[in-house]
Amino acid sequence: MPTQFFTTAGKFYRGNLHTHSTRSDGALDPEEVCRRYRAEGYDFIALTDHFVGLFDFPITDSTCCHRQGFTTIPGAELHTGSMENGHLWHLLAVGLPADFTPPDAPGFRPVKGSEPAPHIARRARDAGAFVAIAHPHWSGLTEADARSITAAHAVEIYNHGCVVDNDRGEGFLTLEHLLNEGRHLNLIATDDAHFNTPDFFGGWVMVKAEENTPEGLLEALKQGAYYSSTGPEIHDIRINKDSIEVDCTPAVNILVQGCGSPMAKVRGEAMTTGKISLERLTGSPWIRITIIDRVGKRAWSNPFWIDDRL
């Protein structure tokens, strides 16, 4: 994934891609969910209520919540089939059309013979959605499970609700297993907010787009023109032949990870620029960047593939 989007026209918009309302099992109605995110300074959210018959398969229309400087993207959390552990699949589909055909999913128990998860993921992507594998740690996703979803754009690597409620909110191992197999996937940080615990305003994406519109944001997400964060900002990434340079808000650690255990880093106090040699990552087909600030908050770049970096 190229890094040019950091310096191209447009601006970064902050958004949450995993949110629930009273249209499914959330505590607040869609209008109040949107009001709270808007008041918190977000530029957009995707309402992704649970797409099951129990809630009448909602794809929540939140256009009434659009305001100057704030928009929403329609979507849903899709459920069908069962993973290897016997539990129901969870997949995010942001930008899902209102007429998307539901699977055989009356509730949160798997239905034998229902549509396979790889199939509904492909249907959602073909319908124009940005598709992500949701909370793989919380779900108990196996490598075989993850490998089967070939239509995903991204893996949810930080789910704030899962961190708050059960400390199973990360998905890096799932992501990196797929990257190591040559799968070109990105990553997202989200809230999975239900507003019945402190599961909100904890993880987000910063999407670079020319306009804060559902169409513009969705296209930028599909292109990978964004980064994810729980606090720090990334201002620029410059990948050279032998090194990488990162501009960011004050950080104490800037790390570059690659295939397997190799990584490189620079440490300091309130660093706003870091230059890191890529010598230790020679041979890795991909690299990604993590920024850590003094209170432990993090920001993550999408993976960059070496063949695309120059």
> What's the rounded Cα separation, in Å, for the pair 136 and 186?
14
308 band by pLDDT with thresholds 50, 70 and 90? low
What's the pLDDT at 4? 87
Distance of CA 197 to the CA centre of its chain: 21
In Å, the largest CA–CA distance within the chain is 56
Condensed to tens digits (0 to 9), the pLDDT of residues 71-101 reads 999 999 999 999 999 999 999 999 999 999 9
Report how far apart, in Å, the C-alpha atoms of 121 and of each of 58, 84, 137 are.
17, 17, 19
The predicted model gives 264-272 an average pLDDT of: 96
What's the pLDDT at 1? 52
Condensed to tens digits (0 to 9), the pLDDT of residues 170-179 reads 999 999 999 9
Hey, what domains does the chain have and what are their CATH numbers? Answer: 4-228 (3.20.20.140), 234-308 (2.60.40)
pTM above threshold 0.75: yes
The predicted model gives 195-217 an average pLDDT of: 97
Condensed to tens digits (0 to 9), the pLDDT of residues 286-295 reads 999 999 999 9
Handedness of CA 42, 18, 293, 209 (dihedral sign): negative
Condensed to tens digits (0 to 9), the pLDDT of residues 116-142 reads 999 999 999 999 999 999 999 999 999
What's the pLDDT at 307? 72
What's the pLDDT at 150? 98
Q: Which helix (H) or strand (E) holds 306?
A: none
3-state helix, strand, coil in the chain (%, to 5): 25, 35, 45
Strands 154-159 and 186-190: parallel
The contacts of residue 214 (CB under 8 Å, 6+ apart) are 44, 71, 72, 73, 74, 95
The per-residue pLDDT of the chain, averaged, comes to 96
Q: Mapped to the 3 state alphabet, what secondary structure does 29-93 carry?
A: CHHHHHHHHHHCCCCEEEECCEECHHHCCCCCCCHHHCECCEEEEEEEEECCCCCCCCCCCCEEE
Q: Which residue has the tokens 């019945």?
A: 196
